[in-house]
Amino acid sequence: MVKKLLVGLILLLTFSLSYSQNLGFGLSEGRKKVQIPIEINNNLIILPVVLNGMLPLKFILDTGVRTTILTDKSYTDILNLPYSRKYTISGPGGEKLVDAYVTNNVSLDLPGVHGEGHAMLVLAEDYLQLRNYLGTDVHGILGYELFSRFVIKVDYERKLLTIMTPEKSKPGSRYEKIPIRIEDTKPFLTAEVVESDGTEMTAKLLVDSGASHGLMLESTSDRRIKIPENTVSSIIGRGLGGVIMGRVGRVKSLSLGNYMINNPISNFPNPNSYTDTLKSGTVTRNGSVGGEILSRFTVIFDFSNEKLYLKKNRFFNKKFYYNLSGLTIKAKGSSLNTYEITEVRTESVSDRAEVKQGDIILAINGIPSTDLTLSQVIGLLNYRSGKHIKLDISREGKKIKKKFILQDQI
């Protein structure tokens, strides 16, 4: 399931890159505000970016990333951009994982916004396979360099991004104002969490727009954080170091200011499963709040004044479900309309129906998979508990039919 993909996706990439003297973003023609239509895919914000005035690409807008990242070196090779240095990004134990390069003096253009003099980290290969696990073209990640210069409003419901100068930003009275702290270029807030056993605690959480999960709590960060009895074991994230394993369950509530969110899903990573992501840098925290919760609001990020503004939208009371089929699926092919099952969660309904890793989905409830996007495939397989699913699959060249009923295991 794609929503597990970006748990602190590339927080490990916190190298001190050399920046040009003229680094910066500016609004065009003296404007004080621009509005940009965006895509919302699996709770992630995807916006258009033009690289060096020539190459139109799509980037994820991520509050958890310091430096702009390009996920595939082939794009900078097309532009013949020079590389000033090479990094080898290693995981625990010093094992070599991936190579990455730095290119400087890059220009980045959004509609109505021009940025120049940027340093950019370029992955040697598309290790993350973002387009495959999101089912849409995604080429990079843009973060702090934009948030540090503007007030940014994300309207998840209208799929609209507003970039404003600080003096133009005047949130209305309907917004809940929440203090944040910018530490190591990332925003943190404190929130009240009531766990499944009734334990109450104040948690320090990273506000992570580049994570598609709702809530993540690290049990090793505070002895009061307890993994609920009713959980499932699953892959909860993917990064440069591979998969991140953990347990998935529910807490009773999460309070952001005066907003109380009931029974949200929470990820509980296995200890040391992402040593080089969550614990990168010197900032300690208890976890993060991501897109599945942020998307229930219109959100205004004001880094310069260390404020976050929230106004609930029509998704606020939407129930939280976690992977009712037990399937993780990625899109393949040039058109991204071939859907391969990459994981079948143990003891899930699809596991009991003997669906296998490597199966190719041909149809869901009679709808040909070629007529569906990956988001629609995942939506049908997570429609509601009790929904009957008829799955036509291809396995080693043979067509097979499978039936199961969606089930909420937590």
Residue 215: pLDDT band with limits 50, 70, 90: very high
Residue 3 has pLDDT above 80, yes or no: no
- Pick one of 3.30.70.20, 2.40.50.140, 3.30.110.40, 2.40.70.10 as the CATH number of 173-312: 2.40.70.10
Q: So what's the pLDDT on residue 129?
A: 87
Domain residue ranges of the chain, discontinuous segments joined by +: 2-167, 173-312, 327-405
Three-state secondary structure along 303-363? CCCCEEEEEECCCCCCCCCCCCCCEEEEEECCCCCEEEEEEECCCCHHHHCCCCCCCEEEE
CA distance 179 to 67: 24
CA–CA distances in Å: residue 127 to residues 9, 66, 197: 12, 19, 39
Q: So what's the pLDDT on residue 126?
A: 86
Which residues sit opposite 192 in a β-bridge?
Answer: 202, 255
CA distance 84 to 60: 24
Name the range with the highest mean pLDDT among 42-46, 93-97, 271-275. 42-46
The answer to which of 192-206, 240-254, 322-336 has the lowest mean pLDDT is: 240-254
Residue 28: pLDDT band with limits 50, 70, 90: confident
* CA neighbours closer than 13 Å in the CB half-sphere of residue 351: 13
Do 173-312 and 327-405 have matching folds? no
Residue 367 has pLDDT above 80, yes or no: yes
Q: So what's the pLDDT on residue 88?
A: 83
| 300-342 confidence digits (pLDDT tens) | 999 999 999 999 999 999 999 999 999 999 999 989 999 999 9
CA distance 285 to 221: 7
* CATH 2.30.42.10, applies to 327-405: yes
Query: pTM of the prediction?
Result: 0.91
Contact 49, 127 (CB under 8 A): no
- Pick one of 3.40.50.10190, 3.40.720.10, 1.10.1740.10, 2.40.70.10 as the CATH number of 2-167: 2.40.70.10
CA distance 279 to 159: 32
CA angle, corner 54, sides to 30 and 21, nearest 5?
Answer: 55
Contact 91, 172 (CB under 8 A): no
Put residue 287 in one of left, alpha, beta given phi > 0 → left and psi -120 to 50 → alpha: left
Q: So what's the pLDDT on residue 128?
A: 84
Picking from 408, 137, 372, the residue whose alpha carbon sits closest to that of residue 391 is: 372
Contact 325, 382 (CB under 8 A): yes
Q: So what's the pLDDT on residue 94?
A: 52
CA distance 39 to 139: 14
